[in-house]
Amino acid sequence: MGSVYHDPLTGRWLIFAGKRAKRPKDTGREGGQDGCPFCPGREEMTPPSLLALDRVGEDVTGQEGVRGWAVRVFANLFPALSPEEGDYGRHEVLVETPQHDGLLENLPVNHVDLILTALCLRVAVLEDDPGIRYVQVFKNSGRAAGASLFHPHWQIVALPFLPPVPAAELARLAGGRGKCPVCVFLTEKEVVERLTVKAGYHFVLLSPLGARFPYEMWIVPRRHAPSFREIKAEEKKELALLLQKGIKGLKKVLGSEIAYNIVFHSLPAKEDRDRIFHWRVELFPRRDTMAGFEWGTGCYINTVLPEEAAAKLREAK
């Protein structure tokens, strides 16, 4: 059996990645700084850069040690998937800042814009690979959210199969060239207003009606587009601001040490771009542990109504 396995009994896709167990673990703000492989000057501790951007967005890949880098992408040294393991796929790390403790919500908005640019560039490269069916962009912040290193970073995993969550959403939209349910939802102004945390010109940060976890938020583009890679230059800065607003809101309401995940949800790579799929960013805190009911049924019990969550998050400064 290879590292990628589709279980015929449950229909689940599984990835067996023994190397992941050996990855370094250090989520302390200060504890791992001396030996942190993501800090400047230790580039030799990671694979070579696939992309490096300086502070003005110029590509300095291959010369970042001389020119300095602001955002850097390289292959994960402890991948979930890699060609060397015999299964097609890619696993990359994006280090979002040279600062060991440069938290996303405190970075200059232009720097967050740069992070989004780098993510978009790498997603485009990976999605254009004929062997890739789905690319997942995500960020784990804090031990409870799955982060093994404190230094702020994102991960990009390119899969040779279509995983269950996007597959299920595509199935609900089967035949989908009719009305987009997200676009229809955004026209329901009274409902959207109650759920909105922060409204922008290009995006809405809201507490979704289908929130699985207390204080889960989505950032939904007003312009219909199936994929994050189709984001326009003028939209990125607002997305950056709303990401920062969402994280600050979580920390104001739930405490500064709250762990969280950010997940980009886009149309699978090889699907028809005319599908009614509407991309989004999901941000959710990792305060409550999933228990037997959730694992056994796939249903979630949320203890905070979305409208109540939105009201509290709106008030957070």
Residue 18 has pLDDT above 70, yes or no: no
Asked if 269 and 133 count as a contact pair (C-beta separation under 8 A), the reply is: yes
pLDDT tens digits, 94-131: 999 999 999 999 999 999 999 999 999 999 999 999 99
Residue 2 has pLDDT above 60, yes or no: no
In percent, how much of the chain has pLDDT > 90? 52
pLDDT tens digits, 203-224: 999 999 888 889 999 999 999 9
pLDDT tens digits, 267-277: 988 887 777 88
- Sorted by where each starts, the structural domains of the chain and their CATH numbers stand as 4-315 (3.30.428.10)
Packed helices 306-315 and 233-254: angle between N→C axes, nearest 10 degrees: 100
Residues with Cβ within 8 Å of residue 70, at least 6 apart in sequence: 53, 54, 55, 97, 98, 111, 114
pLDDT of residue 72: 96
Identity of the residue numbered 133: R
Residue 9 pLDDT level (bands cut at 50, 70, 90): low
pLDDT tens digits, 172-189: 886 556 788 899 999 999
Residue with tokens 């920062």: 244
How many Å apart are CA 85 and CA 3, to the nearest integer? 7
Sign of CA dihedral 99, 103, 109, 115: positive
**Residue 88 CB neighbours (<10 A):** 19
